Structure 1
């Protein structure tokens, strides 16, 4: 998005460098990454950076309202999904923006969706360092994945503070379903390496009364005091085959690092509550008094789905009429991604995730990192980008 830097990067790119970059990531934790990593990072100019900051501030002004919980009590599709001992702030917030052009041709972000859930905090730091290591001669030294002068050490120390704190790391677990099988497993290994915590499948978590524990390699019991939850509830509800001693609805003597209820509260359900220049018009389908006549300018989204599942991008009136459970759907104005990243063939579109963290010391939610997705298809997902190059997961470097 910054022509001089883009031209220099593309001119110095080679498939050999790219393959070396991928091999380096795959050998970092002896694990082959299961998703496509893009050939390039994204260079974000100051003007767009400021708009992204402004957009995040606008959205947080709603999330930080004293009555936000009251506004989002309807987000739980089933009372049985509510987890006890909810805290006052979502520890993690992800805000996904499509990069578009406004009526003046200027770059601008538009919110796609949001989630009160962790993201790839540690993998993004890894991928950023590897881009620098392998393509560093074309990445300016004063550009950063972080904002406000935050360094890599500042970032890692902040994550340690918020996830582990003063707790013995062996009593802190990253909880998943069959973690080694997840597409994002590389992030789990990077997290464990930086924090010294245990990556654990929910089926290996034991329970006695309100106490949770796991067995170490010698068969000894280790009490769990903190849970860094990475389980996506859509998957948990589908995996009826899992044999577990622990349910999310149990009263436990352990602290959630990222309380599960925020997964629902800060989600697609929140979209109609948001307004402003950086938010598309969004409506709960069951409360919409009149269906727009220009449905070609809207997408239909299930409120409860993951990774784009069930999203309809070519909406018709018949499609809406056929939906019986309209309370589970959102009608959202389409966001027109702009093809702004020059590649070796056609330009790529991109989406940026502003990764946020609630700092318990300052009692503020901060932008701490970012995640980029590059696409040449109709949507960002893998199935829309098969057999395409210069697409996939990446990171953004902000102009200093």
Structure 2
């Protein structure tokens, strides 16, 4: 996209340099990241940046509507409701596929989540790129005038809310087994908060506790929630010593209810240039004749589980709970990033945080996924290079 930096990067790139770059990340914790990291950043032009920001603002405006909670109460009825919900989400992840429409590049909203993403890892990933390609210091992964220092300060404020660090926990299911473990490790190092498995949290009355490395009991005042309930529901082998549905004296950095409210559930309501035709299956009047141009998706799954890309009428008929699935028109990702041997597709996730008393969320940074396959995602990109997770870099304001 940005030809100056693309040419500079590609002329400086080598496979050996990429391997050294990966080793540098591994060395921070003697831990090799379990997802593939892309060879290159995505150099985003000011024109594409403006489109991405416009699309995000339209999503944010919809979420800020006065009737948003009443509109999305059904999402909680279909799943579960956790007490002590706050007035708005703490985190937003807004995913756009970089597509082509009528011969022009247009970002199209693929998904939106009221859930945290790799806020800490992305920061360090961008620093690693600069370390290995110093000319990239002319660019930035941040939005709204943030830099490394102000970004980390904001993330700490949003996650910790001035509580003592040992009373704020990052909560996850067996965090050491998650693909996102690298983000947890950087979060612990950056912010000083402990990483706690759901099985190590326990309840006494209306209070929650865990034991630190020295066996000392610590009361939890705030939870940085990374638990996905559909994963938790599948883990019938786990014994929890607290109840997510119980009234407890704790604050949430990312209240679980917002995972359901801000999800694929809202996609059918979004109309406009940056949005894709999306229909709730229970609202579908008739099955489209050109079904090959649609994708069938469950509303509340994570990481692409349950998505059917080559939809047949029988797939729609087989869905029993039709208010839990959407039928979405396929979009055509435009191969746009010049690798050393061909063009690569991209999906850009803009990340936002919403401080407790702020009127609106603040867009802060981004995550990019690269693909050579039919779709974005690991199973479509096995044994390929110049694919995987990376970061977008913008020209500085």
Q: Is the 8 A contact 1:299 1:314 kept in 2?
A: yes
Alignment partners' CA distance in 1, 2:178 and 2:318:
34
Asked if residue 70 in structure 1 is aligned to residue 66 in structure 2, the reply is no
Name which of 336, 348, 358 aligns with 2:332.
Answer: 336
Q: Does 1:204 align with 2:203?
A: no
1:123–1:190 Cα contact (<8 Å) kept: yes
> CA–CA distance in 2 between the matches of 1:292 and 1:278?
22
Residue 361 of structure 1, CA deviation = 4.9
Q: CA deviation at 1:234?
A: 1.2
Q: Which residue of 2 aligns with 1:97?
A: 96
How far the C-alpha of 1:207 sits from its partner, in A, is 1.1
Partner of 1:115: 113
Cα deviation, 1:163-218, whole Å, max 9, x if unaligned, reads: 11221001000000110111110000100111110100010112100111111222
**One of 343, 348, 351 as aligned partner of 1:347:** 343
In 1, the alpha carbon distance for the partners of 2:78 and 2:285 equals: 25
Q: Distance in 2 between matches of 1:147 and 1:220?
A: 40
| SS of match in other structure, 2:66 | coil
| Alpha-carbon offset, residue 317 of structure 1 | 2.1
Conserved in 1, the CA contact under 8 Å of 2:144 and 2:364? Answer: no
Aligned residue in 1 for 2:133: 135
**Residue 300 (structure 1) aligns with:** 296
Q: How far does residue 399 in structure 1 lie from its aligned partner after superposition?
A: 2.2
The CA distance in 2 between the partners of 1:18 and 1:279, in whole Å, is: 35
- Structure 2 Cα separation of the partners of residues 127 and 397 of structure 1: 11
CA distance in 1, matches of 2:315, 2:193: 47
CA contact (8 A) 1:21 1:130 kept: yes
Structure 2 counterpart SS, 1:354: strand
Equivalent-residue separation in structure 2 for 1:76 and 1:377 (angstroms): 35
Task: Name the CA distance, whole Å, in 1 between partners of 2:373 and 2:242.
Answer: 41
DSSP-derived class of the 1:348 partner: strand
TM-score w.r.t. structure 1 length?
Answer: 0.96
From 300, 306, 309, the counterpart of 2:305: 309
SS in structure 2 of the partner of residue 359 of structure 1? coil
| Preserved CA contact (<8 Å) 1:58 1:276 | no
Question: What is aligned with 1:319?
Answer: 315
| Helix, strand or coil at the partner of 1:318 | helix
Question: SS state of the match for residue 342, structure 1?
Answer: strand
Aligned partner of 1:27 in structure 2 is 27
| 1:41 paired residue number | 41
Aligned match of 1:194: 190
- Quote the residue 2:15 is aligned against: 15
Q: Deviations over 1:234-289 (max 9, x none)?
A: 11010011111112101111101110000000001110111111000111001111
1:213 aligns with 2:209: yes
Distance in 1 separating the partners of 2:263 and 2:216: 39
| Alignment length (residue pairs) | 396
Quote the residue 2:369 is aligned against. Answer: 373
Deviates more, 1:16-25 or 1:314-323: 314-323
Cα deviation, residue 378, structure 1: 1.1
Correspondence list, 1:246-285, <5 A? 246-285=242-281
Tell me if structure 1 keeps the 8 A contact 2:293–2:329. yes
Q: Secondary structure at the match of 2:338?
A: coil
SS at match of 1:128: helix
Does 2:356 correspond to 1:360?
yes
CA distance in 1, matches of 2:375, 2:179: 19
Unaligned runs of 5+ in 1: none
How much does 1:14 deviate?
A: 0.9
Aligned to 1:82: 81
Task: Check whether the contact 1:112–1:335 (CA below 8 A) recurs between aligned residues.
Answer: no
d(CA) in 2 for partners of 1:171, 1:46: 41
SS of 2:354's equivalent?
Answer: strand
- For the residues of structure 1 that align with 2:189 and 2:241, how far apart are their CA atoms? 27
Secondary structure at 1:150's aligned position in 2? Answer: coil
Unaligned runs of 5+ in 2: none
The verdict on how the C-alpha distance between 1:90 and 1:186 changes in structure 2, with shifts beyond 3 A counting, is same
- TM-score normalized by the length of structure 2: 0.97
- Give 3-state SS (helix, strand or coil) of 1:114's partner: strand
Distance 2:213 2:323 in 1: 47
CA shift for structure 1 position 106: 3.0
User: Are the counterparts in 1 of residues 199 and 239 from structure 2 also a CA contact under 8 Å?
Assistant: yes
